[in-house]
Structure 1
Amino acid sequence: MARQKIELNGLLAFPLTPFTDDLELNLDAFADHVEGHLAAGAGALFIACGTGEFSALGPDELSAVLRTARDVVNGRVPIWIGAGGGAAAARSGVAAAEAGGADGVLLLPPYLVTGPPAGLLDHVRYAVADTSIPVIFYQRASGVLNARAATELLDIPSVVGIKDGHGDIDLMSRIVASVQAVDTDFLFFNGLPTAEVSQRAYSAIGVARYSSAVHCFAPEIAGRFYRALAANDTAAMDRLLTGFYLPLVALRDETPGFAVSLVKAAARLRGQKVGGVRPPLVDPSPEQVNRLEKILSDGLATVRELD
């Protein structure tokens, strides 16, 4: 089977998964949230991934989220969905994504255990067996490849890219160079939290695509940074970093899991009915929400000044 050539361009959005006050899935709010991403110009949606609290969702909930997204999107942009965990869970998740009509799968790292690069390759082979849906391997935590193993992913036709959440620029540079020497169509993504902060460094090594969680609550800011990056407008990028992204990252780093919790809190500040986070994540304190509100206000003001 030949490798599919996949086009994923523009701002890649990673929607939240809304919950009710008692932490049940809120599909009506999810539908509104997805429509908001589309209205703001998202080039593709990656649902139920890290920002979408994949690890907190059951198989039936994942299926319901995918059905809802497909109904709302109606073919306007590609829909990718998270799968992962242990070997059996990853395999069933990939199969369910294909059966549910997703355009692709973001394969999250194995659960709990850590294996060598050869074992990770076997994990991917096992997860995608008997399916043909395109898969992007999410490199982070317990799933980190070396350059040789990354190149061997090319032997798995359904694997079309690597998203890097590990953050080792030296390693990623070697991976990109090694893979592109064989296949220039293979895709690479920056998947670090608040990826805009590191994206200039990733762009310099050939990783042009990135995930924007900020698009969930401030597409004005996410879109302005994306345009500045495309134009190599360093002055505008620096203004957005100092006026918004760096203060947001400082607040994010105060508490484990805030890469998701703060995004949900900011979405609530902007009137979205996304609810709180499921445990073990925690919502920010009132004092932290007050600081978040100021950071968001300053970021929006920075966009207005730039425009």
Structure 2
Amino acid sequence: MSDSETDPAARLVGLLDIEQIEVNIFRGRSPQEALQRVFGGQVAGQALVAAGRTTDGERPVHSLHAYFLRPGRPGVPIVYQVERVRDGRSFTTRRVTAVQQGRTIFNLTASFHRPEEGGFEHQLPPRLEAPDPESLPTVADEIREHLGELPEQWERMARRQPFDIRYVDRLRWEPDEVTGAEPRSAVWMKAVGPLGDDQLIHTCALTYASDMTLLDAVRIPVEPLWGPRGFDMASLDHAMWFHRPFRADEWFLYDQESPIATGGRGLARGRIYDREGNLLVSVVQEGLFRSLEP
């Protein structure tokens, strides 16, 4: 069995290593998973790789804006078609369309910026002082503590999970624990193994991770994050701004909040910091929430 099949980090790098099948056309694998739809972070990460591979590689991405149009089918390859919108002196723009079985499932526009010196810098400080990630239990440990053991399905997922995720606040398990809870969540994250030195891979890996917990902030005032769900949930759109270089295999703090949920949709905002409190990435996402009750 190859390392990419047993090592979740290597598996993530392999998943992002999409195949070029023609000029401006790429094909990405979509693993057969026990999920109803392809994970949105996977599609976003692969699309950004496709966009980046049509640039000169000297301009890092500074922003992306994406729409999830249809659910992707696990196990079916996804074709990424790249349109070279602009190659300017300072900025490069790419538009990517993801197609599966002849249907468009995802659109992404990414902008790349030639590094340059600015006349000034500032940032707001982090909202919270989070404990060190090493002092916090893993999600799997919290589940084992609550249930006594990890259910077989979650055990398989934990073994394949490419990111170590540790919630700053302990998980809520009972409905009465969410009463009065603010729509905020924060997690420490990092890839479970080294991802190499290609900055594009680190950017796309963090794009993958950014879709994993962001909508938690919408759900927190309504239901426990773990256990039976009362809502079907799906990402609608996703936007990211990359402020500073980073490594996705080093700890980063993902601070998340939901300013509003109404009309079946919830908005979530995220800020990603390194351990020194430097703001690395800003994220905004809207999700669809529909009650599972008949």
TM-score range normalised by the length of the shorter chain: under 0.3
Structure with more of its chain in strand, by fraction: 2
TM-score, normalising length from structure 2? 0.25
TM-score, normalising length from structure 1? 0.24
Structure with more of its chain in helix, by fraction: 1
